[in-house]
Structure 1
Amino acid sequence: METPDHILVVDDDLGLRELLDRYFVGHGYRVTTVANGRQMREALANHRIDLIVLDLMLPGDDGLTLCRNLRANQSYDIPILMLTARGDEADRIVGLEMGADDYLTKPFAPRELLARIRSVLRRAEMLPRNLAVSEKARLFRFGEWKLDTAGRCLVDAHETVVSLSGAEYRLLRVFLDHPHHVLNRDQLLDLTQGREAEVFDRSIDLLVSRLRQRLGDDAREPSYIKTVRSEGYVFAVSVEALQAPS
């Protein structure tokens, strides 16, 4: 029998924690609820967590800080769905750029949150098992570039640092983990964005174009990311994954 996915809810609203606990358990999930960043770190140290529901407004370290710290820590590549009472577009964008996988504004219906959680978990599990992410790699070397996974940035042959947006980083990680493997647009959209209400058919093409610009790749004759007609894209150069020191 499969072990149910384990959801960690981080929110300082006790009533909401209790409501989500009952609701998610009723739909077959394991649930742990905590009120702040310190308790979140304890839960992560003691449990295998499959997804974090993280409130933006928390006492002490806020949700953006916690999200950024989790994404900088290679031990935790856990999907994050961020909650906030704010409707500010800037907060949503910053949260996604920090590495959140989805975003929902309070108040919300538990059914909508559950649907988003299921979507995020599907994206996390959609790649075949032989396409696992290289979790322990600190640096990837390819062509004239290196990707620093801790700093989430590119470094060229002259040690010049090139910043990446959250979506650009996630797309490049997918390519670097699966070089010479054709990935279609639907896979790439789900793995890098996954917010169905906000994507459109060619948005992955725009993201690939932006990443090519970061890499200095000629769109007419690209060396790194090649277009495979009617199929998708393939990362066409060899990649060396360097392990982080133990």
Structure 2
Amino acid sequence: MTTVAPGKGAGPLLRGWREQRRISQLDLALRADSSARHISFVETGRSRPSEEFLLRLAEHLEIPVRDQNALLLAAGYAPRFPETSMDDPSFQSVREGLEQLLRGYEPYPALIVDAKYDVIAANRGIAMLMDGLPEHLLAPPLNAMRLTLHPEGLAPRIRNLGEWRGHLLHQMERQIALQRSDAVRELYEEVAGYPVADPGESAADAGPVAYLALPLRIEHEGRILSFVSSISTFNTPMDVTVAELAIETLLPADPATVKYLQMLMP
């Protein structure tokens, strides 16, 4: 649920997002077909913006839909975007569509996470990578960051843990900066504090493949598998829950990984 401090109005929230995006009042006015004077009046509370004008500013500032609701509430309007539980019967078709999408990626690992990196659904490829992990890490809510970086999780199996850990922490830092998520900040502080025991990798392990992106190099039953991560989100979602979902796919980064996965899950 979105809460807003009473009596503050939308102005301070709008100014905070604008400054965080490092956009001047003039630049925002030009993008939103307005004037810097009007933007200033809205931010200082001298002018009450319309609902549509606030949403237009939010679009140009790339404000997440959850925070767009907060902006509207602060201005005295009703939230525009509902937040539906994934367990709600009205979401049955959404759940079925997501599960079908994940199956379509097999044998390649794929999962769906929410804004806190809790796993909503995963396919057999992900289950293969998680095989043998301790029960306390697999108990719901299963968290992708905790599962990956915990010293009893996937971390000991990741051959380039130092690089991959840095990549994931940077991803979380960027999300914290863009979305001001207290939940993600708490998770970041937890996983960043895990002890690191990087098994390292030799030149022979790395092989001659020229990667186009940082690969995840992970051991599975004595084999080194290489993946490149691809993250997708939904375009113009009309629900907070859907807006915060992300589909992460681990695509094979070399022919040997393709062959192994196809043999394992024909």
Into which bin does the TM-score normalised by the smaller protein fall? Answer: under 0.3
Higher strand share: 1
Between structure 1 and structure 2, the one with the greater Rg is 2
**Richer in helix (by share):** 2
